Chains A and B, each alone.
Chain A
Amino acid sequence: MNAVVFYILAALIVAASAATVGATRLRDAAAALTLAVTAIAILTGAAGAPLVAVAQFAVPLLCAGAGLLLIRRGGYRGLAGPARAVARMRWAGAGVAAAFGALLITVFITSNDGWHAGSGTASLITVLHYRTPYALVIAVILAGAGVAMSLLIGRTGDDERATDEVLAARRRREERVQRRREDRERAKRRRGEETPVEAEA
């Protein structure tokens, strides 16, 4: 790959990644993540792995799209609503991340030229089909199990629906009682009588 293209994409990826973890608003973070994932997919494709590039682009965005659809249509708007962007332990987190970064850089410096030199002579389809079919099968099983697991975790069960209905009914009852009390007090005030709140005062 051309070094200039690599450096441009690398700069874009690093900037977008930093924006993803640093943006205050989740909307901005999502936009930055989309940019980062797209840039990584382009880099992967330019490096010579088009199938991985397509997967790298499609899978996270498919996931994010499904999540966004659920949040918007399923009544979970508050989940992505305004919240504190940064946790309490941000300095500890920064320290741990810096330690990991230092560890990786140290490993890279000490490994010098001892990198694995790959080839890229065979296509990924060939590898998955003839050399490592088990990898493809395991990936498919993993994807199926993951989707099934997420549906199992995220579903709304009968017991949960019943509990929600009970809670909603209680909330409606309390609101009705409160409204009646306020109506009574308003009526008494109109008649010139002393309300219980005023009597207590």
Chain B
Amino acid sequence: MSVGPGHYAALSAIVFTLGIYGVLTRSNLVGVLMALILLFAAPVIALVGFTHTGMGGSQPPLGDAFALFAVVGSGVEGAVGIAIALLVWRRTGSSDVDELVEVEG
């Protein structure tokens, strides 16, 4: 049995769904960041899978370029996320996302 684009798409969808669940349900800022990294990794699976499976046409693997771009985006998101988490911790002394609703100005 061969592995086709659909397999990669299904795996990507599952990881993406788990990532969304983590982002929405995690209470700790660091936990939310971890779920976000997972969320960003999901499209990479699909992009690489779509590029390297199929009939082998003449097109270059542009999907890999997009995937690399997504990975860089994930890294940037992680760096900015950590910076925001540290800033929030310094200002409020809390890492609980639910408590940030009450933060003003």
Contact = CB atoms under 8 A, between A and B. Distances in A.
B71 A80 contact: no
Nearest to A17: B18
B17 A97 contact: yes
B97 to A, nearest CB: 6
Q: Chain A interface secondary structure, helix, strand, loop or mixed?
A: helix
Contacts of A43: 45, 48
Contacts of A74: 86
Contact of A101 (B13, B28, B38, B75): B13
A17 B11 CA distance: 11
A19 B75 CA distance: 21
Interface string B57-89: 111111111111101111111111011111101
A39 to B, nearest CB: 10
A100 B17 CA distance: 6
Contact of B5 (A80, A86, A117): A117
Contacts of B53: 47, 117-118
Tell me which of B13, B73, B86 has the highest count of chain A C-beta atoms within 10 A of its own C-beta.
B86
Contacts of A93: 20-21, 23-25
A162 interface: no
A6 B68 contact: no
Interface residues of A, number: 93
A132 B68 CA distance: 12
A166 interface: no
Contacts of A37: 37, 41
Interface in A8-41: 10, 13-14, 17-18, 20-21, 26, 29-30, 33, 36-37, 40
A75 to B, nearest CB: 9
Nearest to A84: B27
B61 to A, nearest CB: 5
B68 A124 contact: yes
B105 interface: no
A67 B20 contact: no
Contacts of B14: 14, 17, 101
Interface string A156-197: 100010000000000000000000000000000000000000
B34 A120 contact: no
Interface string A121-138: 111101110011001101
B79 A63 contact: yes
B83 A151 contact: yes
Interface of B: 1-11, 13-31, 33-35, 37-38, 41, 44-45, 48-69, 71-80, 82-87, 89-90, 93, 95-98
